[in-house]
Structure 1
Amino acid sequence: MSPRNKNRPLTLRDVSEASGVSEMTVSRVLRNRGDVSATTREKVLNAAKALGYVPNMIAGGLASQRVNLVAIVIPSLSNLVFPDVLTGISAELDDTPLQPVIGVTNYSLSREESVLYDMLSWRPSGVILAGLEHNEASRAMLAAASVPVVEIMDVDGDAIDCAVGISHLAAGRQMAAEILGAGYRRIGFIGTHMPEDHRAKKRLAGLEESLAEAGVKLAAREFYQGGSSLAKGRELTERILTRVPDLDFLYYSNDMIGAGGLIWCLEQGYDIPGNLGLAGFNGVDLLDGLPIRLATTDARRDDIGRRAARIVAGRDPRPEDGKIALTPHFLPGDTIRRGDRQPG
């Protein structure tokens, strides 16, 4: 079998050749019709999955065309991060024929596979999805999609087609430099369980690498499962400071739990940022309503959405190296010592 041109969509013939059965049998299996043996069915489904083949759900007369939809795949609608990303995407697609359609994975790779299978079966004109971590079946489908695929939020890894985001390793290193520069040395980290939050894991790695270079070891860490909330931030902050009361800085994996921690610390009478500094990540609007402003990192969410949409819409070329790395911006707020606030 001759190599397939990657710019050509996969066809029933490709699955037929890979599985060693006729195109008619492949069609019957994929449409779940007709009498096909279990062995043959398994052979066809395994071949289709390995190739990344997705059936075309468009009506016959339009079967050779794409629809004016852009598949947007994100892990959550409740996470405050993604509305800004979606706003940026929508703003760039607003005056084009393209319409965004959203699928939600709930941070599950198997759910992402299912969402992608359904969305790609309608032959969208492009795909924008969060993160660089996917299972093999999802990667195969995306590689075979023959449309622009833009992975967003992260550039620390290999992109299937192209990626737009920030380096979370760099963001962690940047935060470490700010913390150390302000004179803090007993540093704790609070965040989600790392296998479930790849980008927070990278920020923690960058933080620890930079601390180690300065001869400082992370003094404590506290992990949790489930969604982020102000209540969760309060609970975890109390827990870590009860366990390790001499900490002088807390770095949170996101602003939501950071805001909860800040409120709890203010209620307990902590001297912030004198004896205890705090910082979060993302730069969400929620911080505008706090008694004092939490230090954080602007993760460039709107910019990421806009740049990804411009690539899918054909307004910007695909980057030559496959990545557009935006620079995260540190926002000092009021919870980290600055200048003359450093201890004598």
Structure 2
Amino acid sequence: MSEIHYALTQFSHGAGCGCKISPQVLDQILHTDIPAPEAKNLLVGNQSKDDAAAYDLGNGTALISTTDFFMPIVDDAYDFGRIASANAISDVYAMGGKPLLAIAILGWPVDKLPASVARRVLEGARATCAAAGIPLAGGHSIDSPEPIFGLAVNGLVDIKNLKQNNTAKAGDLLLMTKSLGTGVLSTAQKRKALDQEYYTAFVEQLMRLNSAGAALGQIKGVHAMTDITGFGLLGHLIEMAGGSGLTAEIEYGGIPVLEGVREGIARKMVPGGTNRNWASYCEKVSFAQNLNEADAISLLADPQTNGGLLIAVDPASLQEVQDLFIGFGLGKYIEPIGRLVPAGHHVVEVK
């Protein structure tokens, strides 16, 4: 008897990083009047909106610690495990570090999905961890109403190479390492409206490790770095530009986009997370008059899963970064998408 195929996205209300709570609501959740205990060695923590925590080990290196998990963005269990794991590991790369080990986080509706499907999720996670050169060293599981999977990941970085998302400088050029649109394509897939010709590239990007981040960390002219995930390109640009006291000017026509995304936007395949994102930061963004604002919002606020790195680089280091991109097979992304300038009326200006 052949094994039953379970379409995982039909067992969850959200998909990938589109499950994230909106920036506005998250700010309310994280607000506290309780003073934090003194932690002299904590280099990066809740005082900023960065990708991971960083802790000074006292020997010139820092421990990077992060966690990320979400509901299925694809139907195949093995692919889901690979994608969720690559997404979690990305936070270490976004800080300029190298991953060290991972711990699995699994929530599983045991009354709806058999253990054999969860095992396939774990097998996908092991494959991605192996590709990153780290062990999947343990984990924890619970019985939950919807399938959830992710990792807690630790990494290491030389403190001099530690990158943050709020240390950009005026004049820096902005580059990214993946195309936008995974939220749109995942919505189309969940509605069974994603053409097979677009699916392959979509899943390949979702699984791709952001391993270039560890090498980018060694370039002094890379002033700031983050990865583009659930808050969309606009949300993470706001964290970078706003956190650095600057304004980001981006060229809409230069933004790389996955095939099928513009078609999906035209067919209203827009995830609910896009509207939640936009409602959280709309007053911080302006658009040029010649742009179709609705379409631009649908793309730029689209929640990304395991999206690319967003990099602020000194123009003097652009060639070094471009050469590195080519070495990592990222040659199609070597052109800047914009620049950072002194703070203006809006945090992001889309031209």
TM (norm. structure 1) is 0.26
The normalised TM-score by structure 2 is 0.25
- Structure with the higher fraction of residues in strand conformation: 2
Q: Quick check: which has more Rg, 1 or 2?
A: 1
Query: Taking CA–CA contacts closer than 8 Å with sequence separation of 6 or more, which of the two structures ends up with the larger relative contact order?
Result: 2
